[in-house]
Amino acid sequence: MSTTQRPSSHFVVCEAAAPTKKADSAAKRTRQAEKRRIYNKARKSEVKTRMKKVLEALDVLKKKPDAQAEEVLQIEKLIAEAYSVIDKAVKVGTLHRNTGARRKSRLARRKKTVEIHHGWYSPTSASASNFATFRTLSFSTNLSKGCLSMSTLQRPNHHSVVCMAKKRASNTDKKKEQKVSRKEVSTKKGGGSSKRKSRGRVKGGKKKAYRIVRLVSTAGTGFFYSKKMSRGVIDKLQLMKYDPCVKHHVLFKEVKWSE
């Protein structure tokens, strides 16, 4: 074949890559969940190991007869390390924050139990200065009159036993009336004679009448005021109420009292 008969253009053959299948989202979620499970398992195992180490050390110290107070310092270092591991687990989401708080509280309680057992720590009782006592009583016209016993005045302020109640006047049982606007109603189309609705009054409901009664403790610790429905109630009011002075429920009975 001569040179004039050869084709002037050359063909280039390219190999096209086959289209790849999109990654399955379900398989991806499964792989991610497995990774999280392995990571969380390691974190939880570390937390359990730290806590077990602290609890074992506290048990040994509790059973030791001649234990010294300085030995607690080494355990406090272990507790601090356990706290750090728990905080990291909460931060990354391995443990819920409430679960982490319970873990740390458990270690602190166990340590305090050991200290109380050996006499290194004694719980302090609440001092009398932490309580508010009745010094003087201020009365006004809106408050019911009465007097309190000396034992009641000198004890702490227990609002569940002694309280002052507002007294309603005897002439407050009045009817409320509400005016209804007058409306014109036409009876015929295109005008003509009209009728008006007669004015009416809507009577409001009566307020429930009640009176203030005094209930005195059968244990002689004090009294308090309460409301009592005055209509249809003949029997005297009685109820059981917790009294902090005697630390149990006491029967309170209604008694007469003069204003």
Task: Answer yes or no: is pLDDT of 94 > 70.
Answer: yes
Look at residue 2 in the predicted model and tell me its pLDDT.
55
Whether residue 230 sits in one domain with residue 137: yes
121-172 pLDDT tens trace = 887 654 544 444 444 444 444 444 444 444 444 444 443 434 444 444 444 4
What is the mean predicted confidence (pLDDT) over 100-121? Answer: 92
Whether residue 100 sits in one domain with residue 59: yes
Whether residue 152 sits in one domain with residue 76: no
Look at residue 223 in the predicted model and tell me its pLDDT.
74
Identify the weakest region by mean pLDDT among 183-197, 213-227, 235-249.
Answer: 183-197
Domain count for the chain, please give it. Answer: 2
| Mean of per-residue pLDDT scores for the chain | 70
User: In Å, how far are 19, 27, 178 from 14, measured between CA atoms?
Assistant: 15, 34, 95
CA torsion through residues 112, 115, 120, 125, sign: positive
Higher pLDDT, 116 or 228: 116
Whether residue 161 sits in one domain with residue 77: no
Is the residue at 254 inside a domain? yes
Whether residue 155 sits in one domain with residue 45: no
Whether residue 136 sits in one domain with residue 254: yes
Torsions phi, psi of 214, nearest 5? Answer: -110, 130
CA distance 72 to 78: 10
User: In Å, how far are 54, 78, 101, 106 from 83, measured between CA atoms?
Assistant: 11, 9, 9, 11
| Nearest residue to 89 via CA among 148, 28, 48, 35 | 48
Look at residue 101 in the predicted model and tell me its pLDDT.
94
Whether residue 54 sits in one domain with residue 113: yes
What is the mean predicted confidence (pLDDT) over 76-105? Answer: 94
Look at residue 16 in the predicted model and tell me its pLDDT.
58
Is the residue at 177 inside a domain? no
Is the residue at 104 inside a domain? yes
Whether residue 152 sits in one domain with residue 112: no
Domain of 99, CATH number, reads 1.20.58.110
Look at residue 86 in the predicted model and tell me its pLDDT.
95
| Nearest residue to 219 via CA among 179, 249, 183 | 249
Whether residue 147 sits in one domain with residue 35: no
Query: What is the value of pTM for the model shown?
Result: 0.41
13-29 pLDDT tens trace = 556 556 666 667 888 88
Domain of 160, CATH number, reads 2.20.28.120
49-78 pLDDT tens trace = 999 999 999 999 999 988 888 899 999 999
Look at residue 249 in the predicted model and tell me its pLDDT.
76
Look at residue 149 in the predicted model and tell me its pLDDT.
45
Domain membership of residue 38 as a residue range: 26-118
Is the residue at 180 inside a domain? no
pLDDT above 90: percentage of residues in the chain: 30
Question: Is residue 216 within 8 Å of 235, Cβ to Cβ?
Answer: no
Whether residue 108 sits in one domain with residue 47: yes
Is the residue at 105 inside a domain? yes
Of 91, 118, 145, the position where a domain reaches its end is 118
Look at residue 242 in the predicted model and tell me its pLDDT.
73
Alpha helix stretches (DSSP H) within 95-211:
97-118, 150-154
Residue 72, number of CB atoms within 10 A of its CB: 19
Whether residue 45 sits in one domain with residue 75: yes
